[in-house]
Amino acid sequence: MKIVDVRATTVTVPLQAPLRHSNGAHWGRFVRTIVEVEADNGLVGLGEMGGGGQSAEEAVRGLRDYLVGHDPARTETLRFMLANPTASLYNNRTQLLAAVEFACLDLQGRHLGVPVHDLLGGRVRDHVEFASYLFFRYQAADGSGEVRTPEQVVAHARELKERHGFTVHKLKGGVFPPDYELECYRALAEAFPGDRLRHDPNGAWSPEDSIRFAAGIEGLRNDYLEDPTWGMNGLRRVRERTSIPIATNTVVVNFEQLAANVRDPAVDVVLLDTTFWGGIRPCVKAAGVCETFQLGVAVHSSGELGIQLATMLHLGAVVPNLSFAADAHYHHLTDDVIAGGPFRYRDGGIDVPAGPGLGVDLDRDKVAEYAELYRELGGYPYDRDPGRPGWYPLLPNTDWADPAAAGPVDLGGR
Ligand code: MG
């Protein structure tokens, strides 16, 4: 099998409501690039990456000269063809590498008639558990969907638990003052005494605020505190002052950082992201290192449609030391571009795809519909808050959103 073409299509798929985070928001939709790698036998492998538009599509098409003629089964060589670490000083292609790796694994699986997890050592589970990923949300255009108060956080979690069966809840914070978010977290703990919890302010807090928050949740059913503050040194300071495990998806995202964390621990749990690490296979390797050093592992979500979700499910299927439920933004989406409609949750998790390759196919009508929606709406500034024009956070942040500020937000047609 040889690669003959590489294609990219930007799509935007609506969310139920804008999702708030420490730097800004997802302005009511995700923008993603669908990557298709075609082989000389007519098979097409699927990949996906975050963001989109002309520059992203050109970056994907720019890989044609590297990939045409390459055997997609030679997955390991991709790392050196596309993202040699010495060349990456000038040209960081980690996310492109990930999208191409997904597509090449998909091609291999389709060619051999086996699911990707069979190419990765075989599954140790058929069903991957997920956390309910709770966000503070602005109102949608129709006025629905706001999550701002502790009561709304609990109601949102209850609705998701009833619909999907979640027994783990993750609250994305770093939006409101830490003490206010502590109140929301405690409300969740009180409402769901049998469930497990985690909080993730995306590194926005000072080490001191992080230590105070950790003290405030001691004794609750905490999985971990995720990236309370920025950087390995800040996280190490927090970790030395709490019994709650510290997790990261920000400062251990490659093998150099993983080695640094083994030599001088800053975090207890490594959240593996198939995009940030450059593919599914590097995540499997990293999980092996974590197994050796008895670090916790979970599957991270950087905002996905069904192709990327499939990569997360295949990863979750093959990692024996998956010690925590996975994360997904997926249940905030209103639709997907995969055939047969969106993946469905069952008992708080999703079944691992069993079909050849990643086990998902494109619904061409949906791709066309959401590519057109992208042409209509364009991108949005992920690191800007539509409710606070001109604001950007310091690190650590000292200027939080006002929890009393309710009402609609102007998305400016976006
Ligand atoms: Mg995180």
How many domains are there within the chain? Answer: 2
Distance CA 304, CA 49 (A): 8
Encoding tokens for residue 93?
């292609």
Query: For the chain, how far is it from start to end, CA to CA, in angstroms?
Result: 42
Specify whether 113 is located in the same domain as 159.
no
Q: Catalytic: which of 161, 300, 332, 366?
A: 300
What's the CA-to-centroid distance between 199 and ligand 1, angstroms? 9
- In contact, 204 and 172? CB cutoff 8 Å: no
pLDDT tens profile 176-212: 999 999 999 999 999 999 999 999 999 999 999 999 9
What's the CA-to-centroid distance between 74 and ligand 1, angstroms? 32
With respect to residue 388, please indicate whether it lies within any of the assigned structural domains.
no
Backbone angles phi, psi at 315, to 5 degrees: -60, -50
Encoding tokens for residue 328?
């997904």
Instruction: Residue 373: give the domain boundaries.
Output: 3-117+365-377
Distance CA 308, CA 302 (A): 9
Specify whether 202 is located in the same domain as 294.
yes
CB atoms within 10 A of CB 337: 27
- In contact, 168 and 132? CB cutoff 8 Å: yes
DSSP string, 101-113: HHHHHHHHHHHHT
Task: Decide if 172 is catalytic.
Answer: yes
Specify whether 157 is located in the same domain as 110.
no
Backbone angles phi, psi at 45, to 5 degrees: -95, 145
Task: Decide if 161 is catalytic.
Answer: no
With respect to residue 400, please indicate whether it lies within any of the assigned structural domains.
no
Q: Catalytic: which of 117, 161, 172, 366?
A: 172
pLDDT at residue 406, as a whole number: 87
Q: Which of 312, 285, 341, 270 is nearest to 117 (CA)?
A: 312
Encoding tokens for residue 87?
């060349």
Ion ligand 1: residues, CB < 5 A = 200, 226, 249
pLDDT at residue 414, as a whole number: 66
With respect to residue 331, please indicate whether it lies within any of the assigned structural domains.
yes
What's the CA-to-centroid distance between 277 and ligand 1, angstroms? 14
Task: Work out the average pLDDT over 256-274.
Answer: 98
Residue 30's contacts (CB-CB under 8 Å, 6 or more residues apart) are 12, 13, 15, 50, 303, 305, 329, 333
Task: Work out the average pLDDT over 301-314.
Answer: 97
Categorize the per-residue pLDDT at 57 as very low, low, confident or very high, splitting at 50, 70 and 90.
very high
What's the CA-to-centroid distance between 76 and ligand 1, angstroms? 28
What's the CA-to-centroid distance between 367 and ligand 1, angstroms? 28
Rg over alpha carbons for the chain, rounded to the nearest Å, is 21
Specify whether 63 is located in the same domain as 157.
no
Specify whether 269 is located in the same domain as 186.
yes
Backbone angles phi, psi at 171, to 5 degrees: -105, 120
Specify whether 233 is located in the same domain as 356.
yes
With respect to residue 386, please indicate whether it lies within any of the assigned structural domains.
no
Specify whether 67 is located in the same domain as 201.
no
Q: What percent of the chain has pLDDT over 90?
A: 95
With respect to residue 408, please indicate whether it lies within any of the assigned structural domains.
no
CATH number, domain at 315? 3.20.20.120
CATH number, domain at 92? 3.30.390.10
What's the CA-to-centroid distance between 302 and ligand 1, angstroms? 8
b/e code 275-309 from CB counts within 10 Å (16+ = b) = bbbbbbbbbbebbebbeeeebbbbbbbbbbbbbbb
Q: Residue 85 pLDDT more than 90?
A: no
pLDDT at residue 238, as a whole number: 98
Categorize the per-residue pLDDT at 87 as very low, low, confident or very high, splitting at 50, 70 and 90.
confident
Backbone angles phi, psi at 192, to 5 degrees: -130, 70
Q: Which of 327, 266, 318 is nearest to 298 (CA)?
A: 327
- In contact, 135 and 200? CB cutoff 8 Å: no
The set of long-range contacts for 51-57, using a CB threshold of 8 Å and a minimum separation of 24, is 51/379, 52/10, 52/11, 52/12, 52/374, 52/379, 53/10, 53/374, 53/378, 53/379, 56/8, 56/10, 57/8, 57/9, 57/10, 57/33
pLDDT at residue 89, as a whole number: 83
With respect to residue 392, please indicate whether it lies within any of the assigned structural domains.
no
pLDDT tens profile 212-255: 999 999 999 999 999 999 999 999 999 999 999 999 999 999 99
Task: Work out the average pLDDT over 323-352.
Answer: 98
Residue 163's contacts (CB-CB under 8 Å, 6 or more residues apart) are 331, 345
pLDDT tens profile 39-51: 999 999 999 999 9
pLDDT tens profile 94-133: 999 999 999 999 999 999 999 999 999 999 999 999 999 9
With respect to residue 77, please indicate whether it lies within any of the assigned structural domains.
yes
Single-letter code of the amino acid located at 259? A
Specify whether 85 is located in the same domain as 153.
no
Specify whether 178 is located in the same domain as 243.
yes
pLDDT at residue 352, as a whole number: 98
21: left (phi over 0), alpha (psi -120 to 50) or beta: beta
Distance CA 93, CA 97 (A): 6
Q: Residue 341 pLDDT more than 70?
A: yes
Specify whether 233 is located in the same domain as 251.
yes
Specify whether 352 is located in the same domain as 372.
no
Longest CA pairwise span in the chain (Å) = 59
With respect to residue 387, please indicate whether it lies within any of the assigned structural domains.
no
